[in-house]
Chains A and B, each alone.
Chain A
Amino acid sequence: MEHFRALVFLRYELWFFVGGLAIVISCRLLNGAINTGCLLNSKESGGGYSPARLQLLLSTLGIAIYYAYRCYQSKRFADVPAGLETALGGSNAFYVIRKFLSESTG
């Protein structure tokens, strides 16, 4: 029985650590302590705004929030719909191809 009490403590420690890390990193992302400068900027010589990066950011946040919500609703790790994997793969492919083209031109 005693080691079950230890398991309870371990769970709370895990929650404290992971939750604390998530909170610290989220706060630092929001207040700029973690650098997110030029996150949406193109690496081309002009350095302007990049639509490829914006679509990747939006698809990342959208998919992450949707999947987290589904897991929270079903109280287990939800199955990932095939369309979601395709959407993420396509988004990443578009970003990588755009990056390759911009790097190769200069």
Chain B
Amino acid sequence: MVLKIITAWGLVVFVGLLAGIILWKILTGRIDLTKLVSETNGDASMSRFQFLVFTFVVVLMWVYLFFYNGDGKFPDIPPGVLGLMGISGGAYVVSKGIQKSFEGEQAKADAKRLNAAALGGGNVINAGAGGDGGANAADAGGGTGA
């Protein structure tokens, strides 16, 4: 019985401290949320935004129902909700996969152009698809990013 009480209060203190520290760090900016829904190029991502919205809806409903029921039992989450989360998460993964695969191809194309320009004796003007001349020829590190 004593062990149960100690464990319970220990959990309360631990969770409370963890929650407080995380919220404090978010409020003071130490945990940076600026790019929470952004892609690597800095633009906002619709897939991430959707995932964020559904995650918060499900979690807030879960916490509300946990409080409302008052019997200490976790609310049952129907399979349909998991299906919604799965659709949202799956779309995010597919979208990310598409982006990464085309970024990889663009990087290879940029590297090829750079090599060709270097071998060609410094003439970096090109009219290739997806490039915009000298600026991109010098940057083989990534896609067009637009």
Q: Name A residues whose Cβ lies closer than 8 Å to a Cβ of B.
A: 2-3, 6-7, 9-11, 13-22, 24-25, 28, 33-39, 41, 43-45, 47, 53, 56-57, 60-61, 63-64, 67-68, 71-72, 75-81, 84-85, 88-89, 92-93, 95-96, 99-100, 103-104, 106
Asked whether B60 lies within 8 Å of A85 as measured between CB atoms, the reply is: no
Q: How many residues on the B side are at the interface (Cβ–Cβ under 8 A)?
A: 65
- B138: interface (CB < 8 Å): no
Q: Name B residues whose Cβ lies closer than 8 Å to a Cβ of A.
A: 4-5, 7-9, 11-12, 15-16, 19, 22-23, 26-27, 33-38, 42-47, 49-50, 52-54, 56-57, 59-68, 72, 75-78, 80-81, 83-84, 87-88, 90-91, 94-95, 98-99, 102, 129-130, 144, 146
Q: A6-B11, A80-B78 are in contact. Are A92 and B33 (CB under 8 A)?
A: no
Selected contact of A18 from candidates B27, B44, B59, CB within 8 Å = B59
Asked whether A77 lies within 8 Å of B81 as measured between CB atoms, the reply is: yes
Selected contact of A56 from candidates B15, B34, B50, B76, CB within 8 Å = B50
